[in-house]
Structure 1
Amino acid sequence: MEACTAVEKELDKVFEKFRDLDKENQRKVEEIINKIEEYVATLNDSDGDGQISAAKAVKIMELLAEARAIATKASTGHRELHSTVSKVGKAIDKNFAADYSVAALNPDFATSERDAKLVNEVICRHFYRTGLPELGALLVQSAQLENTESVVEPYMVINSIVEALRRRDLGPALSWAEQRTDQLHQIGSFLLFRLQKLQYTTMLQQGRVKEGILYARLHFGRVLQAYIDREEIHSQLVGEVRSLMGALAYVHVGLEKSPYAPLTSDSLWIEICDLVNAGAKAVPLLMNMKQVMQQRQVGGMWSSNDDLPIEIDVDREFRFHSVFACPILKQQATEQNPPVRLVCGHCISKDALHKLSHGNKLKCPYCPMEMNTADVKQIFF
């Protein structure tokens, strides 16, 4: 109870600070709006030739400076509010122990037959999801679990696709993707096209040139037709298809010795395997999150297609992209918003730099060092 009271006090501080900040900002904004409206009315009532005198220009500049000062003060208040909010998280970490092992020490844990069955089903799903179907089947048999086919079938399909890809067999993956062509197209996925590219180049490497040409005519044309209404994507795909067809000119000398050697790289197979493996680990978490959002009726809170609503750990072996996420704004860096390195060594995004700086002065949000914004360096991946 004391832990809840401590967190509640921090939340009360946040609410109080938010109300005060909102009230002050509203007052300042209304004040400057009234001043501007009064001065505009004065300008409209005054006689003149439409030219702005030096005195009027000075007055306008003063109003602009006052408006900027209000905006700067509001930004400063927002940063202070962010600091107060962060204290709530620290209070939660301090007062609540995240030790879930105590559940296993509870003598009443999973004592009933129903609870034991649920635990066994969770463990069974874990075995199938992590590519250990033999252990999963052994647990199903020993624990006498029933009606597990519908639960484990998706994992079995994924595992069979991964195993086939390791043998460089694209059949199961292509079959799965072709059955979901419309769904992949709706979400803007090029998975099917990437698999078809790999199948086509494999045929050329094996000397099955005629079969490869027929395969390209059948499948690449469908891909281009599917994106004909999306000009940018369509033009990109046309360029890739032209490159793939150009590889035919070098089949007789070997693609490995031609300008199209990258099409035969082993990294393409590794990338496809990693993509499927990472997806298999991420999908269960995303499905759980989707179910929770639907139950709490907050599905509209996340509508972005560029990033995930939560961070998903897919193990270190699948982290091969150099992506920077700003620790201040919680956004991934882009060409328009690149990462920058402060003098002290801490890194933030360019947008965060603009929000935190006061003129040419900047204080690091993570250490006491102050610096000039001109000394900040952009980072290039």
Structure 2
Amino acid sequence: MAADPDLDVPAEEPREPPQPQVPPQPEPDPAEEEKRRREAEFALLNKEIDRVERKCRDYEATAMGTIDEAIATLELYKNKVMECDEDDEEALENVVKEFEKVWSEANYPSRVAPEAKPAKDMLACVGKLGKAIEKVCPKEKSWENATWDLKEHPIDRDALKEVIVNHFYRVGRFDIGDLYAESEGGELADVDPNAPKPIPPERREAMKAPFVEMWNVTWQIEREGDLSGLKTWLERNGDALVNKYTGAPPRVEFLLRKLEYVRMLTGHHRGSSGEEPDGKRARTEGNGAGVGDSGDVDGAAAAVAYGKEHFEKFTRLRDSKEANEVRRLMAAAVYARVGLENSPYRDIERECREIGGVLNPYTFDPDLRKRMEETAKGTEEDLADFEEIGSAWWELVNEFQSSHCILAGQPGEPPLLTIYNVGVIAMPTLVKAAQVARARGQDWNKVECIPADIDLPDKYMFRSIFVCPVSKEEATPENPPMMLTCGHALCRETTKTLAKPDGSFKCPYCPAVSTVDGCLELHL
């Protein structure tokens, strides 16, 4: 039967497709969100610090280059004046006029003045760093009028002065260290009888002695790319640096061998007095066997022989970082003919590259740095490649200085730098803890245990920490860890809590029974 078109039949409404069931998203943890936010802020702050450091190095290089150029000009015209005949006034006048013209055109004073571009760039970066610090660590108004009670917390001014002088010696600023060591406290000495006194010369020399050889070798590496001083130092101290548990040789020796190997592989090897190490030559001269500066056949063969001789002891621990690097270094020799920069191992070439006869373009050649930054401008990968250039040299210098200081009975890292790095990490937590203490009416100076964890890198953990597995409290001198007869450890207060009237208690982790008096105190 046909449908009547005149009948008003309501149209069927279209049905919406079923929506997929979205599982409920867990609410973000505010603490984790705050932690990620702070980490991002401090990452940006570290970038600003690095930028200021680079700009300061650029300005220092520009200023020192300008001063050296001015001195050379003065010496040149001084000699010209000395060569003039005393009776030849015309020749003398011509030399003076020529000097005035050259000096005016060179305009040395304006090139190092605060208004010059290098100085402006440096000062602008310093200003931005101050704003970045204020953003990450806002000033606490309640701390503006805070005072440090010197009677309750006395400071040994002379010891503090020695720490500061030691830091200057440690970072190679012997001139500033001597100047500060000889100072008598200035105006402070007139109003404070406890002002620090000058450090005696014999004490200064004793403080300086551990660092003199270190910086002589460092400057030899940084300024000339010469590794002979470091090799001599390693021959004398290498055995003391061997890991007494694994027998692994020191990493500073591996980095030295790595740089020597890559120098030979890329055809730029040079030892002390222009000779190759162990009598080997990394390049061919005049016989047509080489294939250019990017790598040559004889250089690759000499590099492989050098690697077989010196890398074997670093591969004994098969899963070590050095063993993995040795495998890549030896495989890179296959690409010596085409050049490492055109191979899958180009990162090795970048790490070990020397630029302009020096190790780091940032410090010694700001113009080169500017050109490289312009060519690297674009992707983050390009910028990362640029930052990687010469990194193996700086790792070698840092590793050598750390090893040298440890052998001399000094910390591997400058103590003031450690204080700064730990302070940057811990300050936000300490500020919050101080706010909580003040809100509870507690005296912040008398708080023995901070009610929060501060996550520090392992290298800044200078003592063992024990947390009781039962009470979850950190051990203190008043509540030390105690070892039970079964070998497990608990805090003393926990053992007393678990003990029966006769002093015995069952270990929470095994069936053994111990007594409070039978536990041994552990000294961390």
Task: Give the TM-score normalised by structure 1.
Answer: 0.38
- Structure holding more helix per residue: 1
The structure having more radius of gyration, on CA atoms, is: 2
- Taking structure 2 as the reference length, the TM-score comes to 0.29
